[in-house]
């Protein structure tokens, strides 16, 4: 059964793997946790509540099946603004064994936000209140929310906090950027701190955690939060969560970790996907992140990007993982 909630103020810190749609499927989540460890919980990429029954929806539900997430318990996430649709999906997720689901209020992309979904709801506390009022009394699962500071204005979240405070939510995961910023600029730690002070719910930090020193700095500043969520940093440096938990890696250990993860994913994707082309695209997407472990990262990524077939790609990828000069770990 998936874990459904976090302990307040735990030691060691509780680390959550962030949802990265197109990357952190159950295969990657499981492989990362199995080979490197360090995470306590994963959040799955969003399932749209407007998704109709069909192969796409089946694939999303398959991704959160508890038996496929045995290495790392997973909390499913939905994206939508219609409580009836969300309840339908959450009943299906409950039947699969889930006891907690996350509501995506942070997706920054215009086709989503224009329809007042994702971060498009942040400037509309009245719509969020109406949703929660209709959803929560009928929900078979507990709800957490994943938010940004605002759609365009970093103070929008402060207008929403009283609404969130009025409802029984298991946690609030905050990525302290606006949707307008997408992933650019810096995270707003001052506003994160203000939200932390005002919010009665457990608040989980998310954004730009890429090295142990950065994590330690935030831990010193904010104190022991109930959870810390890491996304891109964990794909770029798959040892990061384990290192935050105290494991150490010398260069040989780090190379071995990257190679093991890469080869395990390659084998699992070959089993899952119908064509080598799909496997190749998936691995190249992963390598875009892994390349950052090496000096001359652009040149390294170009070397793998050029490969048009899986066999030469694998040869090139392994050569890099075994021999290319590495950047030091942060
Ligand atoms: C490629 C990509 C896909 C993402 N997919 C999702 C998603 O499905 N649901 C979600 O809540 N956030 C999604 N995010 C946002 C991340 O979960 C996270 O909030 C963001 O990347 C900041 O954390 P990080 O700096 O640790 O990566 C995505 C981000 C990226 C880059």
- In the prediction, which pLDDT does 3 show? 43
- In the prediction, which pLDDT does 162 show? 98
Distance, CA of 110 to CA of 175 (rounded, Å): 18
Count Cβ atoms within 10 A of the Cβ of residue 220 and give its class: 0-12 exposed, 13-18 middle, 19 or more buried: exposed
Ligand 1 atom nearest the C-alpha of 46 is 8
Q: Which residues line ligand 1 (CB under 6 A)?
A: 18-23, 45-46, 77, 104, 106, 146, 175, 206-209, 230-233
- In the prediction, which pLDDT does 86 show? 97
For the chain, which residues score pLDDT lower than 50? 1-4
For ligand 1, atom 1: residue with the closest CA: 20
Distance, CA of 293 to CA of 300 (rounded, Å): 10
For residue 198, CA distances in Å to 57, 203, 294 come to: 37, 10, 42
For ligand 1, atom 6: residue with the closest CA: 20
Ligand 1 atom nearest the C-alpha of 106 is 11
CA of 46 to the centre of ligand 1 (A): 10
Per-residue pLDDT tens digits for 143-184: 999 999 999 999 999 999 999 999 999 999 999 999 999 999
- In the prediction, which pLDDT does 2 show? 41
Is 128:121 a contact under the CB 8 Å cutoff? Answer: yes
Ligand 1 atom nearest the C-alpha of 232 is 27
- In the prediction, which pLDDT does 1 show? 37
Q: What is the dihedral of CA 122, 128, 131, 136, to 10 degrees?
A: 110
Q: What is the DSSP letter of 76?
A: E
- In the prediction, which pLDDT does 330 show? 82
What 3-state class would DSSP assign to 26?
helix
Ligand 1 atom nearest the C-alpha of 102 is 11
Is the ipTM beyond the 0.90 threshold? yes
């Amino acid at each position: 059964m998936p874990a459904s909630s976090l302990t307040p103020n735990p030691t060691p810190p509780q680390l959550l793997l962030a949802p990265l749609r197109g990357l952190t499927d159950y295969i990657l989540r499981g492989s990362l946790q199995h080979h490197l460890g360090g995470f306590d919980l994963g959040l799955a990429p969003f399932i749209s509540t407007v998704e109709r029954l069909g192969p796409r929806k089946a694939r999303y539900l398959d991704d959160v099946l508890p038996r496929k997430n045995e290495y790392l318990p997973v909390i499913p996430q939905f994206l939508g603004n219609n409580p009836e649709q969300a309840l339908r999906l959450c009943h299906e997720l409950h039947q699969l064994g889930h006891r907690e689901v996350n509501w995506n209020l942070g997706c920054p992309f215009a086709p989503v936000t224009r329809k007042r979904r994702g971060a498009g709801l942040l400037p509309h506390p009245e719509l969020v209140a109406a949703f929660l009022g209709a959803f929560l009394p009928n929900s078979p699962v507990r709800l957490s929310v994943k938010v940004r500071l605002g759609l365009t204005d970093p103070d929008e979240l402060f207008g929403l906090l009283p609404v969130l405070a009025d409802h029984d939510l298991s946690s609030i995961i905050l990525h302290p950027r606006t949707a307008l910023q997408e992933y650019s600029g810096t995270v707003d730690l001052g506003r994160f701190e203000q939200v932390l002070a005002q919010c009665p719910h457990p608040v989980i930090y998310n954004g730009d955690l890429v090295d142990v020193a950065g994590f330690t700095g935030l831990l010193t500043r904010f104190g022991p939060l109930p959870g810390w969520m890491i996304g891109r940093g964990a794909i770029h440096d798959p040892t990061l969560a384990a290192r935050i938990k105290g494991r150490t890696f010398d260069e040989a250990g780090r190379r071995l970790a990257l190679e093991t993860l890469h080869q395990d994913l390659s084998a699992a994707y070959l089993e899952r996907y119908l064509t080598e082309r799909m496997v190749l695209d998936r691995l190249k997407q992963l390598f875009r992140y892994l390349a950052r472990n090496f000096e001359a990262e652009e040149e390294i990524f170009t070397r793998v990007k050029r490969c048009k077939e899986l066999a030469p790609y694998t040869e090139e990828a392994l050569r890099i993982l075994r021999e290319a000069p590495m950047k030091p770990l942060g």
